[in-house]
Structure 1
Amino acid sequence: PHKGEGEGRTRATPLARRLAREADLNLSAIAGTGPHGRVVKADVDAAIAGGGAKPAAKAAPAAKAPAGAPAAAAAPVKAMSDEQVLKLFEQGSYDLVPHDNMRKTIARRLVEAKTTIPHFYLTLDCELDALLALRTQINAAAPVKKTDKGEAPAYKLSVNDMVI
């Protein structure tokens, strides 16, 4: 398994999961050909056409929820332990901050968003030579002010400032 992948969990795109569910197929029986062995639409289509996957096991019928009760939430994702997370980074390259309730809530919501919402990443190559030259000129023209640590420019523009 890859880092961050739970044991027994099959990596699959949201479309592949839906298609497998609709075809009543067990995702773990389908060999993934996508990045890091991820099951993609073509894998599910091939399994449907070739009968290469077993039907999913039927779950026991759930007890009927009372009227007005919220829909059942998806099973929570098992979080990595602090030791597992710290092993991912070089010793001394981070500061440990205690987990207060606000940080725990933020972390839980981020994990929930990343695991339940499909994400699409776009990349774009840009030639920023003129922008970088302008940024250098503007930063060089910044007035200097005195601080406790000596003199520092009153402002310093970043590339992100310029892009936005």
Structure 2
Amino acid sequence: AARPADPPHKGEGETRTFASPLARRIAREAGVDVSAVTGTGPHGRVVKADVEAAIAGGGAQAAPAAKAAPAGAPAPAVKAMSDDQVLKLFEQGSYDLVPHDNMRKTIARRLVEAKTTIPHFYLTLDCELDALLALRTQINAAAPVKKTDKGEAPAYKLSVNDMVI
């Protein structure tokens, strides 16, 4: 079987327009140039709603931001709140201010990046844990007691999370 011809290569400085197949079809049927539509989908991808908005607006919208970014460029980072903006959310004196070390800064940055760029979905499940909680209480009561600087404390203390995992 013959292979379909490869699509023509774009010229120097031109970038590929990312669009969903449905958006491309709707744009083709309406006579709208997909490359002139501003994409609001992931990484600037043109989606159905963008094409419909362009058609309703009487033509394609200009897309200077989409054209400026190279095709392989990562999504722009979300601007985080400054420390001062975060502190204004809480009552003065209701917190202890601890300077961030490099590890905590990296963890915070990656957490924000993951939360904003990765699709999330949440599941809820109701469970009856009465027997598990009773077992946890028995195991924690049987823990040997150690002497510490602050007095006596059990050698270990299992949490519900420990039991579930």
Q: Report the TM-score when normalising by structure 2.
A: 0.54
**Cα RMSD for the two superposed structures:** 10.5
How far is 1:101 from its partner?
3.3
SS at match of 1:121: coil
Q: How many angstroms apart in 2 are the aligned matches of 1:122 and 1:49?
A: 37
| Unpaired runs of at least 5, structure 2 | 1-7
| Unpaired runs of at least 5, structure 1 | none
CA distance 1:66–1:133, change in 2 (3 Å) = closer
Q: Deviations over 1:9-58 (max 9, x none)?
A: 99999999999999999999999999999999999999999999xxxx64
Contact 1:6 1:78 in 2 (8 A): no
SS at match of 2:64: coil
Query: Identity rate of aligned residues, in percent?
Result: 90
SS at match of 2:62: coil
Larger radius of gyration: 2
How far is 1:67 from its partner?
11
Contact 2:40 2:50 in 1 (8 A): yes
Q: How many residues align?
A: 157
How far is 1:89 from its partner?
3.6
Contact 2:24 2:34 in 1 (8 A): yes
Contact 2:15 2:70 in 1 (8 A): no
CA distance 1:28–1:110, change in 2 (3 Å) = farther
Q: Which moved more, 1:78-87 or 1:61-70?
A: 61-70
Q: Deviations over 1:118-159 (max 9, x none)?
A: 001111111111111111111111111222222211111111
Q: How many angstroms apart in 1 are the aligned matches of 2:9 and 2:90?
A: 16
SS at match of 1:46: helix
CA distance 1:137–1:26, change in 2 (3 Å) = farther
Q: How many angstroms apart in 2 are the aligned matches of 1:85 and 1:37?
A: 29
